[in-house]
Structure 1
Amino acid sequence: MSDKRLRVVLCWHMHQPEYRDPLTGEYLTPWTYLHAIKDYVDMAAHLEDAPEGVQAVINFPPVLLEQITSYARRVHDLLECERHPGDPLLAALALEPPVQPRETRRALLQRCLQAHQQTMIDRFPPYARLAALARRALETDTGPGYLTDIHLTDLVTWYHLAWLGETVRRRDPRVRTLMEKEQDYGMADRRLLVTIIGELLAGLLDRFSALVDAGRLELSTTPYTHPMLPLLIDFKAATEARPDTPLPQHPYPGGLERAQWQLQKARRSFSEHFGHEPTGCWPSEGGVSAATLQLIGQSGFRWTASGQGVLRHSLADADPDSGQLHRPYRLDEDGPVCFFRDDELADLIGFSYSHWHGDDAVADFVERLEGIAAEGDGGRVVAVILDGENPWEHYPDNGFHFVPALYRALLQSGELLLTTFSRCLDDTAVPVEHLPHLVAGSWVYGDFGTWVGDPDKNRAWDLLCDAKAVFDERYPHLHDAAHKALTLRQLAVCEGSDWFWWFGDYNPEEAVDEFDRIYRRHLATLYELLEAPCPPTLDTPISVGSGGPEMGGAMRRSHE
């Protein structure tokens, strides 16, 4: 007799775009290592601690994996060889503070205030006091000079202590000692904290590999630099769900070949980091089209996934029921199996449950799933796919109570079976349905409006198309193999979807400004590597933000 329990797949997507300047090697923002020591280590620990039978899927884009290994190597070299880490924030923690220009100190103060006020700053009174001083310093005539060096180093130290994973704070006695000291952190204290950070970074990917070996985890990947493949292939994909979408001036040159390259490079990079081939591909932001699914299958992936809105548009159904949504589909007979995200359940974890008591949130989630299980027969799969890093700063204690309780409750339910996408493919109780037609789209609203159509987003695409035309002309004439490889990778970095996500006046000013500068810097570097003149248009900002979106714009609900 087949197991009729409702299959439930929790898929956590981790991602940060390429923040390194390819010519100097300096990290332009610290988000990769900060999320690694807070969210990635906690998510590994929660699975390590979970009872036997708990399984999940975690997705890593290769561009993130490469940055994690880069940071681990840099921290090692810092501690062993006194080599500068190539990250201003990490250097401020690890090195004696030099006499810094006013604007450098200002930037450091601003960076150390970039944390959730309630859960990461106010929670720690010494940090809250320093943060208040920093804000006053930024508002006064004397500015950053208002704070002494010891104030500044204490602020940097507390910023990193607040960004540590909750499992680290609770289990590492060295961290407890540092927190109990509260102030006057000397070089020995700060070097100890850097040592802890280095250990976390160096051991992180091995922890996920061990979870795979233990049967608790499936790892999947994303196209190499997290590009929006359907748009690379053909901007007209955006008009399938929204026919009135304004498009960039010209098609992206050679987009199909670039999409193929992104997928093949992803497979190679993933294998280099984890020692095995990935079975599944979560396409960037769940962005799919018929052409994209075909490429994913041709690249050797057995499964992929997208959003509920894509299925809704494809079935021309205003509200797919459980019998439609909670099924795996295949568009073509030899194509990959495609799972579709349950938007409501994913958004509850991403946006709502952080405001609930953890036990109530878990009970509500399980009750909803058991309600789905009671609606019909077996063979259904509920895919809960969401951001695996950004939600937790909004939860008490970085989700320390919620996530483990969720795993335990799902395991204990007699109506539910925690599993992975790959296991579903081999599960004889899970039939794969035929999808006769696919309307291209993403997990956000089932369309591509988050990345194209807005005048600023289209202008960013136009700049990339212009750069690609120069690339096609000049790249074949580059002769040094290492230089060619660096140039090819730089093109891939410019193709990442994150830059287009942030353009638009509805996003916050600070984030738009930061990503705008990084994107234009990446494009300028591509021209430099191609030994071509940089167009003056790259000196002008693409977009200006003025909005105050939910969660700061780092996450978006799947529907309005």
Structure 2
Amino acid sequence: MDSDSRTPVVLFWHMHQPGYQDCQTGQFQFPWVYLHTIKDYSDMAAHLEAHPNARAVVNFAPILLEQIETYLVHIERWRHGAGEIGDPLLAALVAETLPEPGSPGFLDLMEKCLRANQDRIINRFPAYARLAELAGLYRKKPAIQRYMSPMLLTDLLVWYHLGWMGETIRRENHCVQSLQEKGGQFSWDDRCALMEVIFEILAGIGPRYRHLAQIGQVELSVSPYTHSMLPLLIELASAREAMPEIVLPAFERYPGGDLRVAWQLEQAKRVFRRFFSVEPTGCWASEGGLSQATLAYLDAHGFSWTASGDSVIRNSIHHARTADSSVPDAGIHRPYRFGDTSATVFFRDDGLSDLIGFTYADWHASDAVGDLVHHMENIAAQGNPESRSVISVILDGENAWEYYPENGFHFLDELYEVLENHPALRLTTYRDLVADPVSKTVTLPHLVAGSWIYGTFSTWIGDPDKNRAWELLCEAKCHYDRLMDNGSLNAEQKEAAQLQLAICEGSDWFWWFGDYNPAQIVSDFEHLYRKHLVNLYDLIGYPAPASVFQQLSQGSGAPERGGTMRPGHDRNDNA
């Protein structure tokens, strides 16, 4: 057992984006992979590099890594005149000619350049704010659109990418600083110089995190290949364990789901090894989605740990105590094992994690870190010296910082500064806690299936729109199975179809369906989901049914943080 008597704290940052690339055309439908890379994935590495005594777990979805790689290939080909950049927004940044003012293409790019946080990104830069104000004027008065200057779009494109730039890049990169000082009237050379900066950031992500892992500062872990919801692929009815009355899709189960789970995990490991040259020891099952059957698959694929939200362990403790009242309630700050599975399961402190995600963005950084660490110190003080608490803060590594001043720079810098040499708390990783336990592992007979959001799967299934999306996927999978087995496809066609199916299995599509989400984002994701299904049908040589072309969902809500993040507990739940 570790001789360090301080209470272990694990900061777990999860990085993922779904498959935005249209596999038929090679075009990226949305720019979020490269934008979050230059803003968030680069900043998160830089903060760790600036605090060499800090430690963290960083999780990557493999499909995100592959898409970053694809952007690099596209930019490299463009640089050598051998191809185009397959992202309309990024390509426009360096286009020698742009759409005419007032044309649909002009207006489309203009609108895309305004998809940023108004307060934290656009209004932070007076030049960007003025451009946004002009764009708003032109939007309201179509009659004057013909009088737009082409320079409006040129400058908007540059400022959009400057606005999305990571704060650590902004503070250190001379090109970024000079463009910000110039403010406008950007030339094509200016835009090409900015593209070079973007390329360098994208190219550095893999090597930087690989180096942090090699020196032991970061443990890298992995998610299923396309961030699929494993428990639902195995058994749709697992949703009933936490929500007995939930209405499920018409299909009883996802056809061949057990084989797909095995494929998703094995493919994830292959991609991870290729990028990082090591074997992952931990798996963040997408959205912390676990079930007893999922734990068995993680065991079979050699993962020694996983994690989920604290409502999952509370549900599992309640289930065990209902059958046997003598089972102790060990709480959320302990490692667990379930049944005869061997993977150690850690649980997110939803209270602490959600303070970062939903509360501290409007606080002064020192006050926010002081409050967070004070809560951690209280947890540590209540622990048993012979079986210490394990405090898990688990959060998306990308979505929260858009709401913080300067992309969370001051908060993250202060957080690592305070925790890297704290007298009562020590930053560590799950791999080290499994290899050298400081807390006795609690064993329970059964894990009640659920995710880190509310301890249920309600974010992905049960709503009529979500259920219809599952039915479309199940129907496509039935045709896929039949045509993959009848000998009509060659090996190359089968591989392409299998990859396309995996993209359709991603959890993000189901996340966004439902009236409570914003209309624009629902429209974006449901359109892309149906496009992926159509591509799957094309690849297997079967005509897509009419149902795939019908609109699935139409959002009208305004959830907190735009719906990109959810709290671990239902805000109406006092538990």
Q: Which TM-score band (shorter chain)?
A: over 0.9
What is the letter of the counterpart of residue 415 of structure 1?
Answer: A
The corresponding residue for 2:110 is: 109
- Asked if 1:289 corresponds to 2:291, the answer is yes
For residues 216-262 of structure 1, give each alpha carbon's deviation from its aligned partner in whole angstroms, at most 9, with x where no partner exists.
10000000000101111111100000001000101210011111110
Q: Structure 2 residue aligned with 1:516, among 516, 526, 547? A: 526
Structure 1 CA distance, aligned partners of 2:41 and 2:484? 37
Cα shift at 1:555: 0.4
Match of 2:408 among 399, 405, 410: 399
SS, match of residue 482 in structure 1: helix
Q: How does 1:473-484 map to 2 (within 5 A)?
A: 473-476=482-485, 477-484=487-494
The amino acid across from 1:406 in the alignment is L
Q: Does the Cα contact within 8 Å between 2:298 and 2:343 map onto a contact in 1?
A: yes
Q: Which moved more, 1:189-198 or 1:144-153?
A: 144-153
Distance 1:48 1:98 in 2: 39
Shift of the 322–427 alpha-carbon distance from structure 1 to 2, 3 Å rule, reads farther
Q: Distance in 1 between matches of 2:200 and 2:14?
A: 23
Please tell me whether the aligned partners of residues 98 and 106 of structure 2 are also in contact (alpha carbons under 8 angstroms): no
8 Å CA contact retained: 1:109, 1:144 = no
Q: In structure 2, which of residues 274, 277, 280 is the aligned counterpart of residue 278 of structure 1?
A: 280
Decide whether the 8 Å contact of 1:105 with 1:144 is kept in 2.
no
Aligned to 2:384: 377
Name the amino acid aligned to 1:90: L
Query: What is residue 492 of structure 1 aligned with on the other side?
Result: 502
Partner of 2:535 in structure 1?
525
The correspondence for 2:300, drawn from 298, 301, 304, is 298
Q: Secondary structure at the match of 1:81?
A: coil
Alpha-carbon displacement from aligned partner over 1:76-110 (angstroms, at most 9, x marks no partner): 22222262101000111011124458322222111
**SS in structure 1 at match of 2:393:** strand
User: How far, CA to CA, are the matches of 1:281 and 1:105 in structure 2?
Assistant: 43
For residues 426-476 of structure 1, the C-alpha deviation after alignment (integer angstroms, 9 at most, x for no partner) is: 124232211222110000000000000000000000000000000001123
Go from structure 1 to structure 2 and tell me whether the alpha carbon gap of 1:415 and 1:465 turns closer, same or farther (over 3 Å shift).
same
- Unaligned 5+ runs, structure 2: 322-326, 571-575
Name the CA shift for 1:334/1:322 in 2 (closer, same or farther; >3 Å): closer
Separation in 1, partners of 2:111, 2:246: 37
- For residues 326-369 of structure 1, the C-alpha deviation after alignment (integer angstroms, 9 at most, x for no partner) is 11111144421100110001001111110110000000111110
| Cα distance in 1, alignment partners of residues 6 and 340 from structure 2 | 27
Q: Do structure 1's residue 349 and structure 2's residue 356 form an aligned pair? A: yes
Partner Cα distance (1:282, 1:128) in 2? 39
Question: How far, CA to CA, are the matches of 2:140 and 2:57 in structure 1?
Answer: 45
Q: CA RMSD in A?
A: 1.6
Matches of 1:175 and 1:98 in 2, distance apart? Answer: 22
Give the secondary structure class of the aligned counterpart of 2:212: helix
Residue 338 of structure 1 aligns with which residue? 345
Separation of aligned partners in 1, 2:148 and 2:451: 47
After TM superposition, the structure 1 stretch with the greater mean CA deviation from structure 2, 91-100 or 542-551, is 91-100
Match for residue 411 of structure 1? Answer: 420
Paired amino acid for 1:150 = M
Distance 1:532 1:453 in 2: 29
State the partner residue of 1:63: 63
Q: Give the direction of change, closer, same or farther, for the CA distance of 1:538–1:428 in structure 2 (3 Å limit).
A: closer
C-alpha distance in 2 between matches for 1:444 and 1:45: 29
Is structure 2 residue 461 aligned with structure 1 residue 461?
Answer: no
Whether the 8 Å contact between 1:323 and 1:380 is mirrored in structure 2 is: no
Give the match for residue 332 of structure 2.
325
CA offsets, 1:99-125, max 9 Å, x none? 458322222111111100011000001
- Alignment TM-score, normalising by the size of structure 1: 0.97
Superposed CA deviations along residues 475-526 of structure 1, whole A, max 9, x for unmatched, are 2324432221111000000000000000000000000000000000000000
User: Between the two proteins, what is the percent identity of the paired residues?
Assistant: 50
CA distance in 2, matches of 1:376, 1:398: 34
Equivalent residue number for residue 222 of structure 1: 223
- 1:418-429 matches, cutoff 5 A: 418-429=427-438
Which residue number corresponds to residue 258 of structure 1?
A: 260
SS at match of 2:192: helix
TM-score in terms of structure 2 length: 0.95
Q: Select between 96-105 and 12-21 the one with higher mean Cα deviation.
A: 96-105
Pairs within 5 Å for 1:74-85: 74-81=74-81, 83-85=83-85
Task: Tell whether 2:193 aligns with 1:192.
Answer: yes
Instruction: Find out whether 1:154 has 2:162 as its counterpart.
Output: no
| CA–CA distance in structure 2, aligned partners of residues 34 and 321 of structure 1 | 47
Partner residue in 2 for 1:539 = 549
SS at match of 2:39: helix
Q: Note if contact 2:307-2:347 (Cα within 8 Å) is conserved in structure 1.
A: yes
CA 1:238/1:140 → structure 2, altered by over 3 Å: closer, same or farther? same
In the alignment, structure 1 segments of 5+ residues that lack a partner are none
Indicate conservation of the 8 Å contact 1:20/1:27, yes or no.
yes
| Contact persistence 1:106–1:143 (CA under 8 A) | no
Cα distance in 1, alignment partners of residues 491 and 185 from structure 2: 50
Moved more, 66-75 or 222-231: 66-75
